[in-house]
Amino acid sequence: MKTALITGITGQDGWYLARHLLANGYAVHGLVRDQRNPKRAEVERDLPDVTLHDGDITDATSIRRLVERVAPDEMYNLGAVSYVQFSFENPVLTAEVTGVAVLRMLEVLRDHPSVRFYQASTSEMFGLAATSPQSEATPFHPRSPYAVSKVFAHHAVVNYREAHGLFAVSGILFNHESPRRGPEFVTRKVTRGVAAIRTGRAETIELGNLEARRDWGFAGDYVRAMHLMLQQDTPSDFVVGTGVTHSVRDLVAVAFGAAGLDWEPHVRSTADNRRPADVPDLRADASRARHILGWAPEMSFDDLIRSMVEADIRATEAPSR
């Protein structure tokens, strides 16, 4: 039985990855930063075979003790300040949690070189990309403190792989969603808003740039790619995405359509919801992942958004306790 350690296990990707690894016979351990984390109880309820540990990825001593106690074969770092708008308001905190913490983990793993390490990189690193679609060879042009911090962490992984021989890889994942996505992200903001309008609890949704385009996929598909990256003979980084883009306007149309509603009377685009430096268009060239990992997405964009709307309508209609 292999053992895996997941940071950020209470997030969307952590939940899906833990479930995937358990199904593959792993012993799964997760790090939780705060006893008061409201999602901790969800993990304990939904994934009772996962062992949770208290800790903090910004504390090297905490990470070292946990690695020594768990002795993982694989470590997946999914912990980060991941909301772009928050990073503009809290850039130093973002850099500490999303960037420097990864360097601390890599330093710990220098003493445990048998541990295979996965770092969650992001398509936001491409930012104002000069070419489209974006592959592993596309230069980075980050447009937020979050993306800048992720670029630092990404290059740290490359450096420790080359300088110290660690099996350390980064998955450059494009946007991936699910009914477990945080409410601050645009997909969930839309699907929750549709559910509220559908049940008569709201009238409108306020959004930013409706023309921004993203490559959206299902988180449950993307965690399979994470796992596959650590099963290879040679460590390397991979872009993961569908290769198909949709605008926020497309997202809105599919979400409202899933509820049988016309979106235009209910959606407002406001300047207050726009980023200080926007990223207009991101699309993945995931040909290496398809060829080397044998990975391909399974859920379509329309099915993904419909599943999120349906889940949010059920949650909105459920009686409060």
Token pair recorded at residue 320: 């409060």
| 3-class DSSP state of 217 | strand
Residue 107 has φ and ψ, to the nearest 5°, of -65, -40
Name which of 188, 215, 221 is nearest 307 in CA terms. 188
CB-CB contact of 234 with 292 (8 Å): no
Beta bridge partners of 238: 171
Pairing of strands 267-269, 3-7: unpaired
Determine which one of 16, 26, 118, 146 is catalytic: 146
Which tokens go with 157? Answer: 């992984």
Q: Which of 16, 124, 187, 222 is catalytic?
A: 124
Angle at 18 between CA 12 and CA 21, to 5 degrees: 140
| Catalytic status, residue 146 | yes
For residues 251 and 112, what is the distance between their CA atoms, to the nearest angstrom?
44
Is 118 known to be catalytic? no
Beta-ladder partners of 75: 5, 117
- List the catalytic residue out of 98, 122, 187, 242: 122
Q: Are 190 and 216 in contact (CB under 8 A)?
A: no
Placement of tokens 């012993």 in the chain: 27
**Tokens linked to 7:** 């940071």
Annotation says 187 is catalytic: no
Residue 244, φ and ψ in degrees, nearest 5: -125, 135
Residue 133, preceding bond cis, omega within 30 degrees?
A: yes
Q: Which two tokens stand for residue 298?
A: 């399974």
As annotated, the active-site residues are 122, 124, 146
